[in-house]
A and B are shown apart, each in its own frame.
Chain A
Amino acid sequence: MTFEYAPAPESTSIVNISDEYGLFINGKFVAPKNGKTFTTINPATEAVLAKIAYAEAADVDKAVAAARVAYVKVWSKISPQERGKYLFRIARIMQERSREFAVLESLDNGKPIRESRDVDVPLAANHFFYHAGWADKLKFAGVGDNPKPLGVAGQIIPWNFPLLMLAWKVAPALAAGNTVVLKPAETTPLTALLFAQVCQQAGLPAGVVNIITGDGKTGSLLVNHPDINKIAFTGSTAVGKGIARAVAGSKKSVTLELGGKAANIVFEDAPIDETIEGIVNGIFFNQGHVCCAGSRLLVQENIHEEILEKLKHRMSQIRVGDPLDKNTDLGAINSASQLARIKSLSDAGDEEGAQRWSPECALPSKGFWFPPTIFTGVTQAHRIAREEIFGPVLSVITFRTPQEAIEKANNTPYGLSAGIWTDKGSRILWTAKHLKAGVIWANTFNKFDPASPFGGYKESGWGREGGRHGLSAYLKGGN
């Protein structure tokens, strides 16, 4: 007897995708000055979803000017309670339209509907709820009795969690009294544009949120714009370094959430079955397109074989395919260029002598796909142990003692996150104390909450997002 799960696709009838989208500036959708557009596609089918406006210098100027006017005339003037009211309203509308957001996110990004429905969208709404509550309590944010907003924030977000990263950026900025110009990633602009409609629906004053679409050049124009007070960026370390150089010497505040190569450390006394789930969740959640993904599995050598055997068995059950099928576990890679990067780094793993393993799984012929993959026999000297792959590829490394685990875990230019698996409380505390990582999970992985600050050490970034710490990055102390 076999229990085949019949296709259970989520209906797309709830979303209404326009053929063409303008830029959201000063509360309205407007055409870009030069009329240039680009397309966004569904990475699972390569079908074109919509034509998107391409913002150039004149458009960025216009958006920043609208944000400045809204900041000076409206948003910094209205009462904190009023600001909170708008944020609560946005949060409720996001919940009401959650299915629409989830389907659109899966269409544009390629992630499984189970994740967009159960993780991305509820968390995004929660960020607005959480920060709505902060709007009239800012003097408790830890920057003094009379905190002031910074002004106009330029925000650039990645393609891996398009709506969630928007929420992480927009909610604290607005709660603190800033206005924003946000640039979503080139390959995933659609949920940001739906969010623009939500701002309209909520009656948010014009110019408080502006959304401009484009590529890296658009982002660079925003970063270098003289009338921006704060840059918040989430993305690759290479681009983050460029931003740091660009703003050096200016008065702009900067927060950067960059790459990672997290160690997921498994000790011999770990709860094995739950650890296997944690390893799978750590690297295959969102196709591994997660900056804090547990991409290096550090496993104690004496349980290495048992872990590998069980992990392989579990990986063979991962359901790869149509992101809109409610039973899909692993969706499509977001773009052709990301797929090429994953392939090239995996090939480097082969060439450097690591052993690649993937379960047998039929990949669709159209779209961008990569099977869940592990490399064994990996050492610190392999590229796949050092470079961020940003895909469903796990490098398995062994250690003998807790000290060795710490040395290997910290031996990376990154320091965003880490995982610890052990049944022993004292070992959790000891390990966490010695890890150089901004976020450490014990006996779980990839858990997020609006109240919990998130951010990295070393090349993983500057500053924190979420919680009081993230909020304070949008405030300055005043007297």
Chain B
Amino acid sequence: MEWVSDEVKVILFFKVSIYTLDMQLIDGSPQSIKSYLATLSPVDQVGAEARASMLATRSIKTTSKAWAIDCAISMIDLTTLEGSDTDGKVKAICNKAVRPDPTDPTVPHVGAICVYNDMVEVARKHLDSIGGKDIPVAAVSTGFPSGRASREVKKQDTLDALNAGATEIDMVIDRGAFLSGNLEKVFSEIVYIKELCGDRAHLKVILETGELVTLDNVRKASFLAMAAGADFIKTSTGKISPAATPPVVLVMLEAVRDFYAMTGVRIGVKPAGGIRNTKDAIKQLVLVNETAGPEWLTPKLFRIGASALLNDLLMQRMKLRDGHYQGPNYVTLD
């Protein structure tokens, strides 16, 4: 705890007193975290997989499919996270975010743009100039994707993004610390970044579930992140496979539902990685609807981190509207 400032400690105490009314108080000490996580029920992997695959059989047709497609579009965090990203590439996805289908103004805009911190300014300015003022820019942070950097670097990474106009920070947790049992490090780091975000930005905490591997770990990490102040819990960086598998998302949705029951605070969920087509996206919405509940079916509480998904949703939308499929050249390629 030596690197946590007194100010942060106060906030931390304030937060836990809001969030953990009936739970044991977390003061950031290993013991308090341990007792807090000990209150969680275990997850049975076979059962969770069975539930997720049962929900995948839901048949979403006609009017409900149309509704789900628009809902999914509005929840997309349209993402480009490549070493090859340029101003041109980022501007192009901003255009796509504001008007996903230039021939059809009834298509909603996406939930947000998600980029590295050096692209935040470009994205923000461009969005503002093309009528996308209400589309937030999210920046990945804290040494994304591995999280292997010093506290100072993580701080600067986050501050750069905030100063450039990011209003959502997608931080990664320190999976090495988590897996080695140093949960207080994971916890305090989230608290620290949350404090930096203040009321300037929403904090999404990336668990990188493909590296945590077990559903018990997913559940633990979800509760740890929520207690530390996450506004959203996010599955993956998109750089590791498997990413947002339905059982993982199911367990995270159960976690936000239970956290709400305990504290009255609704935390968002963001699956990212591996959701490439309309069918997958609709399966995610069904998971939300029947696990956390319909209250979570809003971009405020559910986002889908994706890039290729948007075009498949647009193609399916055209199919519903026109009765036939268009070729891939009838959707724009950004």
Contacts and interface: CB of A to CB of B under 8 A. Distances in A.
Contact of A271 (B47, B50, B62): B47
B319 interface: no
Interface residues of A, number: 25
Given A271-B41, A273-B41, A3 B294 contact: yes
A326 interface: yes
A306 to B, nearest CB: 9
Interface SS majority for chain A: loop
A6 B298 CA distance: 20
Given A274-B48, A444-B47, A326 B57 contact: yes
22 contacts: A2-B294, A3-B67, A3-B285, A4-B63, A4-B67, A5-B59, A5-B64, A6-B62, A6-B64, A8-B59, A8-B61, A114-B57, A271-B44, A271-B47, A272-B41, A273-B254, A274-B43, A274-B48, A275-B47, A277-B50, A277-B51, A326-B59
Given A8-B59, A277-B51, A271 B42 contact: yes
B47 A327 contact: no
B47 A274 contact: yes
A22 B43 CA distance: 53
A285 to B, nearest CB: 11
Interface SS majority for chain B: helix
A457 to B, nearest CB: 26
B42 A269 contact: yes
A282 interface: no
Given A3-B294, A3-B297, A274-B47, A118 B57 contact: yes
Point out which of A7, A272, A274, A443 has the most chain B C-beta atoms below 10 A from its C-beta.
A274
Interface of B: 41-44, 46-48, 50-51, 57-65, 67-68, 71, 251, 254, 285-286, 289-290, 294, 297-298
Point out which of B48, B61, B294 has the most chain A C-beta atoms below 10 A from its C-beta.
B61
A275 to B, nearest CB: 8
A6 B320 CA distance: 14
Contacts of A326: 57-59
A410 B294 CA distance: 42
Interface in A1-32: 1-8
Interface in A265-312: 269-275, 277-278
Contacts of A273: 41, 43, 47-48, 51, 251, 254
Contact of B294 (A1, A114, A269): A1
Nearest to B65: A6
A317 B298 contact: no
Nearest to B57: A114
